[in-house]
Amino acid sequence: MSAPELVLVGNLLVDDLVYDDGTTRMGQPGGALLHAAIAATAFGAQVGCVSIVGSDYPAHALATLEARGVSLEGVSRLEGPGVRVWLLYEAGARRMIPWLGRPTHADVSPLPESYPKAYEGAKGVHVAPMPWARQAAFVAAVGRGGQQVSLDPCEPLDDAGLDRVRSALAHVDVLFVSDDEVAFVDPAGALPSLAAGRTKCVLHRRGREGGVVYQSDGTRTTWSAFPTRELDPTGAGDVFAAAFMAAWVEGASLRDAVARGAAAASVAVEGLGAAALLGVGEGELVRRAAEVVVSAAR
């Protein structure tokens, strides 16, 4: 089998979701990797995954990925249950609380040694949200090759940790951040400064407000969110990043890659969990992408 075009590195977790209206959805297949893989394949990308999954992870979710052509060669299995988390949505914010007595987030985050040799010819590697130490180790390992490397942190980015972030970005071409992670005193000053050296683009996702791309040449590009009715925002950031990278590694322009990310995210929030993107055709995604407003300025 040929190498996948895009390799996704991250977690596969079981989610118990609690919304602020009292609605609950228990035992749902989740994790950044699930959302990312579905998004990338929605645009026809050949995808390979690197992760660690517990014995309690819903088998139908893994079967769905394989049915979409996703390689799970890099996914190892635990003998017991994996991480299970409460996702609590309240007042526009989200809290994640792990179940007690389960493996830690780091325990189910892969090490670089688990990267399959069959994936070494990939055009790009996206390192999805995991504990920072795991992410830093992974980008350092895969960043030595010629592929595009992207990083999506889940821990706060603040002024005290700026040197640590810059050290990791020496191996990263594209950085994704969301409002939840941005904790700089002056985000408008700090984020553009991260687009330097190897890192050509920093994409700040802002949910319903769209977002901003800071480029190393000083260009500032904004995008609008595709207007939609949000039902469940879980995984929207992961969907955006994977759809962007699926286009980016194929040589798409920044405008087209951003528009595809925004289009995929708009579909993802219309359904529950990762299900919405499973029922949409590429034609609808392309239609939405064409309506996303992307504007560049110096």
- Give the model confidence (pLDDT) of 206-223 as tens digits: 999 999 999 999 999 999
Would you place residue 285 in the very low, low, confident or very high pLDDT band (cuts 50, 70, 90)? very high
Please compute the mean of the pLDDT values over residues 56-76 and round it to a whole number.
96
Please compute the mean of the pLDDT values over residues 182-209 and round it to a whole number.
91
Please compute the mean of the pLDDT values over residues 164-185 and round it to a whole number.
91
Given this model, what pLDDT does residue 113 score? 96
Which has the higher per-residue pLDDT, 109 or 154? 109
DSSP 8-state symbol, 182: B
Position 171 pLDDT exceeds 70: yes
Closest to 116 measured CA to CA, from 3, 10, 5, 249: 3
Given this model, what pLDDT does residue 98 score? 93
Would you place residue 1 in the very low, low, confident or very high pLDDT band (cuts 50, 70, 90)? low
Q: Which of 67-81, 103-117, 198-212, 265-279 has the lowest mean pLDDT?
A: 265-279
Closest to 10 measured CA to CA, from 143, 171, 154: 154
Would you place residue 144 in the very low, low, confident or very high pLDDT band (cuts 50, 70, 90)? confident
Position 288 pLDDT exceeds 90: yes
Collapsing DSSP to helix, strand or coil, 120 comes out as coil
Contacts of 59 (CB under 8 A, 6+ apart): none
Position 23 pLDDT exceeds 80: yes
Domains of the chain listed by start with CATH number: 6-297 (3.40.1190.20)
**% of the chain surpassing 70 pLDDT:** 99
Would you place residue 179 in the very low, low, confident or very high pLDDT band (cuts 50, 70, 90)? confident
Which has the higher per-residue pLDDT, 161 or 147? 147
Please compute the mean of the pLDDT values over residues 130-140 and round it to a whole number.
96
Position 284 pLDDT exceeds 80: yes
Would you place residue 2 in the very low, low, confident or very high pLDDT band (cuts 50, 70, 90)? confident
Mean pLDDT of the chain: 93
Given this model, what pLDDT does residue 124 score? 97
Would you place residue 232 in the very low, low, confident or very high pLDDT band (cuts 50, 70, 90)? confident
Closest to 114 measured CA to CA, from 143, 80, 137: 137
- Token pair in block for residue 201: 């683009």
Please compute the mean of the pLDDT values over residues 52-77 and round it to a whole number.
97
Contacts of 116 (CB under 8 A, 6+ apart): 48, 50, 73, 74
Burial 118-155 (b: 16+ CB within 10 A, else e): ebeebbbbbbbbbbbebbbbbbbbbbeeebbbbbbbbe
User: What pTM was computed for the model?
Assistant: 0.94
